[in-house]
Each structure stands twice: as structure tokens, then as C-alpha cells.
């Protein structure tokens, strides 16, 4: 328990958040496939939910990395966004978000978009606040933590270069 805020800061695992949507015509571009900005907005929302469930705080998006749109998503498809905290620092979390699309009639499902969101926990004053430690136990969790660490280092180097410029 934090002495200053009374929040529970005990180490914990992260659970995936699954957000399900359907793609309507207004979500698409002029090719009839999902507009990337809409897919991104849904992934960002799911990343917020994962960050909030893990930390119990409000959070803002500080950076997004390696967003890849690999499969066009037709209107009428069902999409599941699976978001999970894979790395946690003192106040920031890296959330992996994967967007799967599914044909509602055949059930065929595939990964269409994936990316990483750095979410920073903030208090009522908008300033970063401490979050719990992430428990990492399995090989898969360790591999994902390593990806998160790589992203964190790259973001830190980018900020240093920007501050020196
Ligand atoms: C994100 C934000 C709260 C960080 O505030 P700050 O005073 O720069 O915070 P700090 O320098 O103390 O860094 C706090 C944490 O955020 C991380 N961080 C800050 N800027 C970052 C960036 N651009 N990319 C990745 N991580 C970042 C730091 O590494 C640090 O992590 P740690 O505590 O786990 O070590 C602030 O920049 C902000 O409010 N940005 C706007 C966010 C927003 O409005 N998002 C919506 C999208 S429009």
C-alpha cells in the first residue's frame, strides 16, 4: 500500500482485456475496408482499459510503436481487440494490442493489426503516479517483457535526442 495515496501497489499479474466491435460502413474507407484511424482509436481505447485494470489509475497515451496493419478488414466483420500490459516501469506501462477480425458467418478469424502503446498513469493533477510492479513468470511473459524493454529504451533514447536538439 502506498503511504501517500493509500492505493494498493502490491505486485500483480496482468490480465488481457478483450473489446469486441462490429465494423459498420461508417468505419470504412473508400475501398470498403476499415479506416486505419478507426482501428487505431479502438486499439488505443483497449490499451487504456488494460492499463486501468492493471494499475487502478487513469492513464494517458504517451507513445505508440510498431502499429502494423497486415490484413484489410471488411465491413460487417466482427473484431476482437486483445490488450495486455506486458511491461511496467515506475509510472508507465507498455500495452500490446492485437486486433483480430472474424467473418461472422464462417467464423474464420485472423490477426489484422497489432501494436504497442505506452500508457502513463496519471493522478488528478495530470502528473505521473506510481504503479504496481508487474509479475512476469512464464517464458511468453518474459519474451513480451523483453519487447517492452526494447520499446522503452528506444523511446528514452528518442526523448534524449529531442531534448539535446
Ligand atoms: C505522458 C505524460 C503524462 C508524461 O509526463 P512527463 O512529465 O513527461 O513524465 P516523466 O518524464 O516524469 O515520465 C513519466 C513516465 O512516462 C514515460 N514517458 C514520458 N514520455 C514518454 C514518451 N514520449 N514515450 C514513452 N514513454 C514516455 C517515462 O519513461 C516515465 O516512465 P517510468 O515512470 O515508467 O520510468 C505527459 O507527457 C502528457 O501528459 N502527455 C500528453 C498525453 C496525452 O494527452 N495523450 C493523449 C493523446 S492526444
Q: CATH number for the domain including 51?
A: 3.10.129.10
Domain assignment of residue 155, given as a range: 17-164
Grid coordinates in use for 153?
Answer: 529504451
Residue 6 lies in a domain: no
Total number of domains constituting the chain: 1
pLDDT value for 131:
97
Question: Span 66-81, mean pLDDT?
Answer: 96
Atom of ligand 1 nearest to the CA of 60: 45
Residue 1 lies in a domain: no
Question: Span 10-39, mean pLDDT?
Answer: 96
Mean pLDDT of the chain: 95
Residue 12 lies in a domain: no
pLDDT value for 3:
52
When computed from its CA atoms, the radius of gyration of the chain, rounded to whole angstroms, is 17
Q: For ligand 1, which residues put their CB under 6 angstroms from it?
A: 60-63, 89-92, 118, 120, 122, 128, 155, 159
Closest among 38, 54, 145, 45 to 101, alpha carbons compared: 38
pLDDT higher than 80, residue 5? no
Residue 40 lies in a domain: yes
Atom of ligand 1 nearest to the CA of 122: 3
Question: pLDDT tens digit string along 119-155?
Answer: 999 999 999 999 999 999 999 999 999 999 999 999 9
Q: Are 123 and 7 in contact (CB under 8 A)?
A: no
For residue 25, the CA-to-ligand 1 centroid distance in Å is: 35
Closest among 4, 80, 15 to 52, alpha carbons compared: 15
Question: pLDDT tens digit string along 32-47?
Answer: 999 999 999 999 999 9
Residue 38 lies in a domain: yes
Amino acid at each position: 500500500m502506498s503511504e501517500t495515496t493509500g492505493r494498493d501497489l502490491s505486485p500483480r499479474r496482468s490480465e488481457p482485456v478483450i473489446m469486441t466491435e462490429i465494423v459498420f460502413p461508417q468505419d470504412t474507407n473508400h475501398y470498403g475496408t476499415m479506416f486505419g484511424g478507426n482501428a487505431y482509436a479502438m486499439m488505443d481505447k483497449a490499451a487504456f482499459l488494460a492499463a486501468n485494470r492493471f494499475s487502478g489509475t487513469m492513464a494517458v497515451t504517451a507513445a505508440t510503436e510498431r502499429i502494423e496493419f497486415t490484413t484489410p478488414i471488411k465491413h460487417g466483420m466482427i473484431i476482437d481487440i486483445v490488450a495486455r500490459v506486458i511491461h511496467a516501469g515506475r509510472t508507465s506501462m507498455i500495452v500490446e494490442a492485437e486486433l483480430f477480425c472474424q467473418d461472422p458467418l464462417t467464423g474464420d478469424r485472423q490477426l489484422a493489426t497489432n501494436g504497442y502503446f505506452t500508457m502513463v498513469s496519471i493522478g488528478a493533477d495530470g502528473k505521473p503516479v506510481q504503479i504496481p510492479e508487474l509479475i512476469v513468470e512464464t517464458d511468453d511473459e518474459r519474451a513480451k517483457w523483453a519487447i517492452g524493454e526494447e520499446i522503452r529504451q528506444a523511446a528514452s533514447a528518442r526523448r534524449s535526442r529531442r531534448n539535446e536538439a
